[in-house]
Amino acid sequence: DAMVIQNPRYQVTQFGKPVTLSCSQTLNHNVMYWYQQKSSQAPKLLFHYYDKDFNNEADTPDNFQSRRPNTSFCFLDIRSPGLGDTAMYLCATSRDPGQGNYGYTFGSGTRLTVV
Amino acid sequence: GDSVTQMEGPVTLSEEAFLTINCTYTATGYPSLFWYVQYPGEGLQLLLKATKADDKGSNKGFEATYRKETTSFHLEKGSVQVSDSAVYFCALSADNAGNMLTFGGGTRLMVKP
């Protein structure tokens, strides 16, 4: 059974039209991450939540925002998508770092195409 | 800063061939090391991990040994299958960075029947 679920699996949006991607988890993990992965590249961390604490990477564009209303859900909002935002967006979770490092659990990703 | 370097792909092998994908790292302290696999159109799956020097991670016939003296974590499999075709990412988590992962660039493996 999937433990990190991303919806939708595929999303096409128009240039400049706001879009929201969602992620839910059944693992009760403290930390949730959003990564952007462009074609044939390694995933790039956009931001993460440690419980309710939001941590933005220094080079994440302001166009990208996130919300975590509760432990189970986390959303990625792209306010005005550009063509360069076409990518796979990956959500991941991990346990509290103080409990040891068990690696991440990734969702299947949302492939976003901006046209 | 921390970094991970992987051999560039694609790596093309025939079925039942031996696989090695090289991975070296730079980190302070004693990082945990991981291999993730990404099948076409999917997210990343944890393949194996090692948390201290000389540990060997293994899963589905894949193995990797944490070599601190050579700062390496090479991925090996004795006999690959077509179903192993995927992109493989080496990653580390530094002990002073909580669970934050640093990924290598990925290596695409293509296995031909």
**Residue A96 has what pLDDT?**
74
> What phi and psi, each to the nearest 5 degrees, are found at residue A18?
-55, 145
Instruction: Indicate if the alpha-carbon torsion angle A57, B98, A68, A108 is positive or negative.
Output: positive
Max intra-chain CA distance, chain A: 43
Q: What is the DSSP letter of A51?
A: T
First-to-last CA distance in chain A?
33
Cross-strand bridge partners of residue A5: A24
B6 touches chain A (CB under 8 A): no
| B23, B74 Cβ separation under 8 angstroms | yes
Using 50 as the pLDDT threshold, list the residues of chain B that sit under it: none
Instruction: Inform me whether the pLDDT recorded for A25 exceeds 70.
Output: yes
Between A92, A101, A106, which is nearest B51 by CB?
A: A101
In the prediction, which pLDDT does B28 show?
Answer: 81
Provide Rg for chain A, Cα atoms.
14
Contacts of A56 (CB under 8 A, 6+ apart): A46, A47
- Res A104: pLDDT: 85
**Contact yes or no for A104 and B32 at CB 8 A:** no
Q: Is B98 on the interface with A (CB under 8 A)?
A: yes
Please report the pLDDT score of residue A4 as a whole number: 95
Are A75 and A21 in contact by the 8 Å Cβ rule? The answer is yes
Instruction: List the single residue in B41, B45, B93 with the smallest CB-CB distance to A106.
Output: B45
**Which one, of A10, A66, A8, lies nearest residue A35 by Cα?**
A66
Q: What is the pLDDT of residue B43?
A: 86
Q: Hey, which residues does B7 pair with through a beta bridge? A: none
What is chain A's length? 115
Nearest to A90 among B32, B43, B49 (CB): B43
pLDDT in tens, B57-89: 999 999 999 999 999 999 999 999 999 999 999
Q: How far apart are CA B3 and CA B92, in angstroms?
A: 8
Mean pLDDT, chain A, rounded, equals: 92
